[in-house]
């Protein structure tokens, strides 16, 4: 997909006084992509969005939309439309007036506006609701009106600032699919801000993982999940078990880690860090809960972990085993429920096995807060 | 149980006193507008009359004062609401550390006495006028201009307070959304912020107009060639007041009641319409066949408004055909009879006394003559007596000597006859 207009951030710095909100961001967003910025709250992702939409001037670096430098161009002149976190629908205007506000600015007649509003209302599955006021709609309906209003401006780039965070879980999951469908239909670039990794993974073509103003990794969802380049990305996206230790030996794409508690374990070096991990350095190793299988008792080796079981739970699709882990954090293991018999292990030591390919090691770094 | 009912009773009693205190003067003033005596009084009730309204509308100075007040009021509304809005916007945009200081500065005019504002307005613009080398008849020394400017110095602060309250509930994201959708700053202001501020602007405008209309102490320095109603009233009171002023007060009270009821009825209607819209289905909304509540249904304010309007029409209608001349003539006749009777009485007394004197002289027992003190010992003297200047009732109360039964707190100050009787002695 290269039909749409791309957005590039080049060496972007944004400072508020002494506080650095965004540190040297370099992002290349392809036209027509669904691109997400994923990070915990306060990591600077909204700041980036405001810089793209023109409400903030970068302290340094450039924002390019479709290859054009946007410096000094105000938000009303940029080919972007922003969907605000609180939606910011005009409370005193009817729905159809809200949707076609951009046309009113361009001087379109009421008749044209009404016609376009009806088309867009059909698209967002709210036919005939044009005469209501925003306060008369439900949360999900308002959400869709905000999208229609932004699309009515025919932007090249649609910016979404955590638009689903105010909705309840069911609606949120429904809106994910809907947003993705709308994006594929209109074919313009979407830049999506979220702290919810589920939203980012399900909708995005590419994801940038951010931490405290720094972009840790940019890749598609699968890569970020399976091949994280930093400890933060590994621990923020999805559930993960961490093993701390030192690199004992590097063997091509794999490394033997001398872990603090579980002996020497072998893991794949994540592709971004290949050739950069030195023996003796601090390292972290991540294994997903679902990557473990139960091993026969007494088995040992560089891909076996033995620990005491604290407690267990049955989740329906899986059995979860929580074992003593590092630094008071429990080691979580998920065994898929395929109808097999499952005995209680509480208080016993059990041994787990994993495939080397499913363990990934990165240089030691900051972990995401729980 | 008994205790409880006592509590309730005293609560009602308290409320009654409170409202009597609040509304009593207005009621009395309104009633005096319909009583025929030349000085506004409720008792004794003489004749129902509408002549004071006629007198009011034929008083050039009052009419001119009302007109000037309206001109000044509109000017002040425009100037103070725009200054107040600018001030309020500034307050929300200013650097947070400066906000408290800015607020104090902008609120200060409310705390400064109006007299000081009036004098300083006069002095300031006079200086500017001279600096520009303009004459005394220039625009800058025009009474209308000075009054509007002088009043706006503090009324703008009131407006700002009203507007800030609303502005604090404004989500700045709405302006950003408008900008983002291609609007210029001016368009975002006009199409998004201004409609949001409209209710507050309306309240601020009403507030500004009323504050301007009733202002005296600032205006008294600045009015120049344009005396407002308050100035005219103050000047009139100096020469004694007539019920024409009560008539004006009554008209203002009625207009206020009208405005309040109309506003309330409008608010109620909006509420009802919103409720009806909320309950309407999509089909009803889109087809426009939504059943709107009737104007009078479950809207007491609208009912009251209609009742008051009907009452007004009836009163005005009565006023045009009603003539109190017969009643006034009757009252005058009655007064004349009373006076005659009193004169006869006095004559009789005098004759009696003369007889006694003669008897005493005859009996060689001359005693000093004790004259009855008549009088008026009020600090105001007779200033407020309506007849103090006219003296047209002189003949009627010629021989009035004994104090007529007036036990009001003012003594006899307001008794039209007291001056004459004094002269007679």
pLDDT over threshold 70, residue B169? yes
Distance CA B368, CA B57 (A): 56
Average pLDDT for B153-172: 91
Any A CB within 8 A of B183 CB:
yes
Contacts of A88 in chain B (CB under 8 A): 171, 173-174, 176-177
What average pLDDT does this structure show over A168-172?
Answer: 82
Handedness of CA B259, B260, B264, B265 (dihedral sign): negative
* Residue B180 sits at the chain A interface (C-beta within 8 Å): yes
Residue of chain A nearest B197, judged by CA positions: A92
The closest CB to that of B184, out of A76, A133, A149, belongs to: A76
Q: Burial, B306: exposed, middle or buried (Cβ in 10 Å; 0-12, 13-18, 19+)?
A: middle
Of B171, B195, B283, the CB nearest to A88: B171
CATH numbers and ranges of domains, chain B: 25-43+243-339 (no CATH), 50-241 (1.10.3720.10)
> Which residues in chain A are contacts of B184 at CB distance < 8 A?
76
Domain boundary among A167, A194, A226: A226
Q: Is residue A368 part of a domain?
A: no
**Do A191 and A327 sit in the same domain of this protein?**
no
**A297 in a domain, yes or no?**
yes
Domain CATH number, residue A278: 2.40.50.100
Q: Does B359 touch chain A (CB under 8 A)?
A: no
Question: In this model, does residue B60 exceed pLDDT 50?
Answer: yes
Report the pLDDT averaged over residues B183-199.
91
Within-domain flag for A53: yes
User: Would you place residue B198 in the very low, low, confident or very high pLDDT band (cuts 50, 70, 90)?
Assistant: very high
**Does A168 reside within a domain?**
yes
CB contact under 8 A, A92 and B176: no
Place A3 in a pLDDT band, splitting at 50, 70 and 90: low
pLDDT tens-digit map of B130-145: 888 877 777 777 888 8
Provide the ipTM: 0.80
Considering A177, A197, A226, which residue would you say is the last residue of a domain? A226
Q: Per-residue pLDDT averaged across A192-217, rounded?
A: 89
* B379 closest CA partner among B409, B422, B416, B404: B409
B184: nearest CA partner in chain A: A76
Distance from CA of A143 to the nearest CA of B (A): 14
Strands of A292-294's sheet in order across = A292-294, A349-354, A304-314, A318-323, A331-336
Instruction: Inform me whether the pLDDT recorded for B12 exceeds 90.
Output: yes
Say if A370 falls within a structural domain: no
C-alpha to C-alpha distances, B250 to B62, B242, B304, nearest whole angstrom:
15, 13, 18
Question: CB distance A88–B177 less than 8 Å?
Answer: yes
Residues 6+ apart with CB under 8 A from B405: none
Report which listed range, A108-112, A124-128, B414-418, is most confident.
A108-112
Same-domain pairing of A71 and A216: yes
Tell me the residue ranges of DSSP E strands in chain A. Answer: 7-16, 19-29, 34-38, 60-65, 68-69, 80-83, 157-161, 189-194, 206-211, 214-219, 241-251, 254-259, 264-269, 282-287, 292-294, 304-314, 318-323, 331-336, 349-354, 359-363
pLDDT digits (tens, 9 = 90+) for B204-241: 999 999 999 989 988 888 888 888 888 888 888 787 77
A359 and A221 part of one domain:
no
Q: Is residue A234 part of a domain?
A: no
Which residues pair with residue B48 across a beta bridge? B35
Give bridge partners of residue A332 from the DSSP assignment. A322
Same domain, A116 and A194: yes
Say yes or no to pLDDT of B420 above 50.
Answer: no
Q: How many domains does chain A have?
A: 2
* Chain B positions in Cβ-Cβ contact with residue A91 (cut-off 8 Å): 174, 196
Shared-domain flag, residues A218 and A175? yes
Percent of chain B with pLDDT over 90: 25
Average pLDDT across chain A, whole number:
86
**Stretch B379-406: mean pLDDT, rounded?**
46
Q: Nearest residue of A to residue B177 by CA position?
A: A88
A30, A87, A208, A215 from A3: Cα distances, Å: 9, 28, 21, 26
How large is the average pLDDT for residues B92-108?
87
Say if residue A346 is in the same domain as residue A200.
no
Asked if A86's CB is within 8 angstroms of B173's CB, the reply is: yes
Tell me what the pLDDT averaged over chain B comes to.
80
Tell which of A171, A203, A226 closes a domain.
A226
Q: Based on the fold, state whether residues A194 and A275 are members of the same structural domain.
A: no
Residues B407, B412, B416, B422, CA torsion sign: positive
Residue B179: closest C-alpha in chain A: A76
Q: Smallest Cβ distance to B173: which of A74, A88, A132? A: A88
Would A232 be classed as within a structural domain? no
A351 and A281 housed in the same domain: yes
Range(s) of the domain holding residue A162:
7-226
CA distance A59 to chain B (A): 20
Global pTM value: 0.72
Same domain, A183 and A291: no
Kindly report which listed range (A99-108, A122-131, B170-179) carries the lowest average pLDDT score: A122-131
Residues of A in contact with B286 (CB under 8 A): 128, 130-131
- Cβ of B187 under 8 Å from any chain A Cβ? yes
Residues in chain B within 8 Å Cβ distance of A104: 191
Provide the pLDDT for residue A207: 92
What are the chain B neighbours of A75 within 8 Å (beta carbons)? 176, 179-180
Which of B174, B277, B286 faces A88 most closely, judged by CB atoms? B174
Q: Report the pLDDT value the prediction gives residue B294, as an integer from 0 to 100.
A: 67
Confirm or reject contact between B169 and chain A (CB < 8 A): no
Residues A212 and A263 occupy one common structural domain: no
- The CA distances from residue A314 to A307, A320, B298, B358, in Å, are 19, 6, 59, 133
- What chain A residue is nearest to B278 in terms of C-alpha separation? A136
pLDDT of residue A67: 86
pLDDT at A87: 87
> Are residues A259 and A207 part of one domain?
no
For residue A247, name the pLDDT band (cuts at 50, 70, 90). confident
pLDDT of residue A1: 40
Residues of chain A with pLDDT > 70, as a percent, come to: 98
Residue A286 maps to a domain: yes
Residues of B in contact with A136 (CB under 8 A): 277-278
Let me know whether A96 and A221 are in one domain. Answer: yes
> What pLDDT, in 10s, does the model give residues B246-257?
888 888 888 888
Q: Say whether residue A337 is in contact with chain B using an 8 A CB cutoff.
A: no
Residue A357 has pLDDT above 50, yes or no: yes
Residue A45: its pLDDT value, please? Answer: 87
Residues on chain B touching A147 (C-beta within 8 angstroms):
none
Predicted confidence (pLDDT) per residue in B354-386, tens digit: 999 888 887 765 455 544 444 455 455 455 544
CA distance A96 to chain B (A): 12
Count CB pairs under 8 A between chains A and B. 70
Which positions in chain B touch A92 (Cβ < 8 Å)?
Answer: 195-196
- Which residue among A91, A106, A136 sits closest to B277, beta carbon to beta carbon? A136
Residues of A in contact with B187 (CB under 8 A): 105
């Amino acid at each position: 997909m290269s039909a749409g207009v791309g957005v590039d951030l080049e060496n972007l710095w944004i400072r508020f006084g002494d506080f650095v909100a965004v540190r040297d961001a370099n992002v290349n967003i392809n036209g027509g992509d669904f691109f997400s910025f994923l990070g915990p709250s306060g990591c600077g992702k909204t700041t980036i969005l405001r810089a793209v939409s023109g409400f903030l001037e970068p302290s340094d670096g450039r924002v390019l939309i479709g290859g054009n430098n946007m410096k000094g161009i105000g938000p009303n002149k940029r080919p972007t439309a922003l969907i605000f976190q609180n939606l910011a629908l005009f409370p005193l205007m009817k729905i159809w007036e809200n949707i076609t506000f951009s046309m009113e600015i361009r001087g379109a007649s009421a008749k044209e506006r009404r016609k376009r509003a009806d088309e867009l209302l059909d698209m967002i599955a709210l036919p005939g609701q044009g005469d209501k006021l925003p306060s008369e709609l439900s949360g999900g309906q308002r959400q869709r009106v905000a999208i229609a209003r932004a699309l009515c401006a025919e932007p090249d780039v649609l910016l979404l600032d955590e638009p689903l965070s105010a909705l309840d879980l069911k609606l949120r999951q429904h809106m994910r699919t809907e947003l993705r469908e709308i994006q594929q239909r209109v074919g313009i670039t979407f830049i999506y801000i979220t702290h919810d990794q589920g939203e980012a993974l399900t909708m995005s073509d590419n994801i940038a993982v951010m931490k405290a103003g720094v972009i840790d990794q940019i890749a598609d969802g699968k890569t970020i999940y399976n091949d994280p380049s930093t400890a933060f990305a590994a621990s923020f996206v999805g559930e993960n078990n961490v093993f701390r230790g030192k690199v004992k030996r590097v063997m091509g794409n794999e490394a033997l880690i001398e872990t603090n508690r579980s002996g020497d374990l072998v893991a794949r070096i994540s592709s971004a860090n290949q050739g950069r991990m030195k023996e003796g350095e601090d390292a972290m190793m991540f294994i997903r809960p679902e990557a473990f299988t139960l091993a026969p008792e007494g088995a040992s080796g560089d891909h076996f972990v033995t620990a005491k079981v604290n407690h267990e739970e049955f989740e329906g699709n899986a059995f979860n085993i929580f074992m003593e882990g590092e630094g008071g954090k429990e080691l979580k293991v998920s065994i898929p429920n395929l109808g097999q018999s499952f005995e209680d292990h509480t208080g016993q030591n059990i041994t787990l096995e994993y495939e080397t390919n499913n363990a990934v090691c990165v240089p030691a770094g900051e972990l995401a807060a729980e | 149980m008994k205790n409880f009912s006592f509590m309730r009773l005293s609560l009602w009693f308290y409320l009654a006193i409170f409202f009597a205190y609040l509304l009593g003067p207005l009621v009395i003033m309104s009633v005096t507008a319909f009583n025929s005596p030349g000085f506004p009084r409720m008792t004794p009730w003489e004749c129902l009359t509408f002549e004071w309204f006629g007198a009011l509308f034929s008083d050039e100075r009052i009419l001119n004062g009302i007109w000037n007040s309206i001109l000044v009021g509109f000017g002040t509304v425009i100037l103070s609401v725009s200054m107040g809005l600018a001030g309020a916007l500034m307050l929300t945009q200013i650097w947070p550390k400066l906000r408290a200081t800015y607020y104090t500065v902008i609120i200060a005019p409310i705390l400064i006495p109006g007299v000081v504002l009036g004098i300083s307005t006069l002095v300031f613009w006079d200086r500017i006028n001279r600096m520009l080398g303009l004459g005394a008849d220039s625009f800058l020394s025009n009474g209308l201009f000075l009054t509007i400017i002088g009043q706006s110095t503090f009324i703008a602060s009131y407006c700002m307070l009203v507007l800030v309250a609303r502005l604090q509930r404004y989500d700045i994201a709405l302006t950003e959304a408008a900008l983002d959708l291609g609007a210029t700053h001016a368009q975002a202001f006009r199409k998004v912020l201004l409609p949001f501020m409209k209710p507050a602007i309306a309240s601020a405008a009403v507030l500004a107009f009323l504050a301007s209309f009733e202002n005296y102490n600032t205006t008294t320095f600045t009015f120049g060639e344009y005396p407002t109603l308050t100035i005219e009233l103050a000047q009139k009171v100096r020469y004694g007041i007539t019920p024409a002023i009560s008539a004006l007060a009554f008209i203002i009270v009625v207009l206020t009641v009208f405005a309040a009821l109309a506003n309330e009825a409008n608010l109620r209607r909006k509420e009802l319409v919103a409720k009806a819209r909320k309950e309407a289905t999509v089909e009803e909304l889109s087809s426009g066949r939504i059943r709107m509540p009737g104007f009078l249904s479950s809207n007491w304010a609208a009912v009251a408004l209609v009742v008051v309007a009907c009452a007004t029409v009836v009163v005005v209608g009565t006023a045009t055909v009603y003539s109190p001349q017969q009643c006034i003539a009757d009252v005058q006749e009655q007064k004349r009879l009373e006076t005659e009777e009193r004169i006869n009485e006095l004559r009789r007394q005098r004759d009696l006394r003369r007889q006694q004197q003669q008897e005493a002289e005859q009996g060689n027992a001359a005693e000093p003559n004790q004259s009855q003190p008549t009088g008026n010992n009020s600090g105001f003297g007779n200033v407020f007596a309506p007849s103090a200047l006219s003296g047209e009732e002189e003949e009627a109360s010629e021989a009035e000597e004994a104090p007529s039964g007036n036990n009001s707190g003012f003594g006899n100050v307001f008794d039209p006859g007291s001056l004459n009787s004094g002269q007679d002695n």
